[in-house]
Amino acid sequence: MTGNALLFVAVFLACTVEAVEALTIVLAVGVSRGWRSAIQGVLAGLVTLAAIVAVLGPALSRIPLDALRLVVGGLLLIFGLGWLRKAILRASGYKALHDEDAIYARQLIASRAAEHTGRFAVHDWYTFTLSFKAVVLEGLEVAFIVITFGSNQSNIPLAVLAAAVAVAVVVAAGALVQAPLARVPENTLKFVVGVLLTSFGTFWAAEGAGIAWPGTDAALLAIIAAVAFAAAGLTLLLRQVAPRGEPSQASQLPAGEVAG
């Protein structure tokens, strides 16, 4: 039960972060250029991601469980440590925080200046491709988490449910406010997701290598606590020597580029 609960939380939070970043771009082009092509791009991106999950999910289930956990655990460690590294650097002042309002405003300017051209059944190709790119690039990270978590826990439906709930929550909030969700504590979410991915990666890689954890799934709680404590301590340490006078809120992404 512990493993399934943590699986749901990890997938939900990761998907929430990615959905907010994708929604910022989709809202900008939808508001500035029209919703028809933006929605077409979103739907095409979702179909692409669904196909990836449908193909890779069953394929991964045929791999021996120990080998799968060893490989996926190693990949999750790389993936999770990358999220955790960025979150620590942002929290300690070494890297600029994402400013969804600034990204939204910059994307609005770029969208209004772009030429309107239609292709095939798409009225506005620029809006379609930008929405498609946002959904696919952000969604690929989520798809990877859904597939790997679901396969390792033998519960892909639960992972898919967590991702679907997160997307529904973010989309509903975005539809209500018609603006980027700038108040979502994105870096805090990335910190938590980084801790969870790193912990799961450690747990699964060790299991795949033949190590038996005391308490089985309950050992995840101890690993998560240890990783979180180490990450929080490193953040506090870096804050003591953080560079002075550097911007902490402005995102450095050019217009149209998907956040990471």
138-189 tens-digit pLDDT: 888 888 888 888 877 778 788 889 988 988 888 888 777 666 665 666 677 7
Domain assignment of residue 74, yes or no: yes
Backbone φ, ψ for residue 154 (5° rounding): 55, 40
Cα dihedral across residues 117, 119, 123, 127: positive or negative: negative
Domain assignment of residue 255, yes or no: no
Q: Is the pLDDT of residue 13 over 80?
A: yes
Domain assignment of residue 15, yes or no: yes
Q: What is the pLDDT of residue 251?
A: 42
Domain assignment of residue 132, yes or no: yes
Domain assignment of residue 246, yes or no: no
Q: Is the pLDDT of residue 110 over 90?
A: no
Domain assignment of residue 258, yes or no: no
| Domains identified in the chain, total number | 1
Q: What is the pLDDT of residue 228?
A: 92
Amino acid letter for position 48: T
Residue 228 Cα to chain centre, angstroms: 19
Rounded to 5°, angle at Cα 169 from 168 and 170:
95
| Model confidence pLDDT, tens digit, residues 211-248 | 888 877 778 889 999 999 999 999 888 888 766 554 44
The answer to whether 241 and 23 have CB atoms below 8 angstroms apart is no
Q: How confident is the model at residue 104 (pLDDT cuts 50, 70, 90)?
A: low
CA 134/CA 25 separation, integer angstroms: 7
Prediction pTM value = 0.68
Domain assignment of residue 257, yes or no: no
Backbone φ, ψ for residue 117 (5° rounding): -135, 140
Range of the domain at 14: 2-240
Domain assignment of residue 60, yes or no: yes
| Model confidence pLDDT, tens digit, residues 40-99 | 888 998 888 888 877 776 776 677 777 878 888 888 888 888 888 888 888 887 777 665
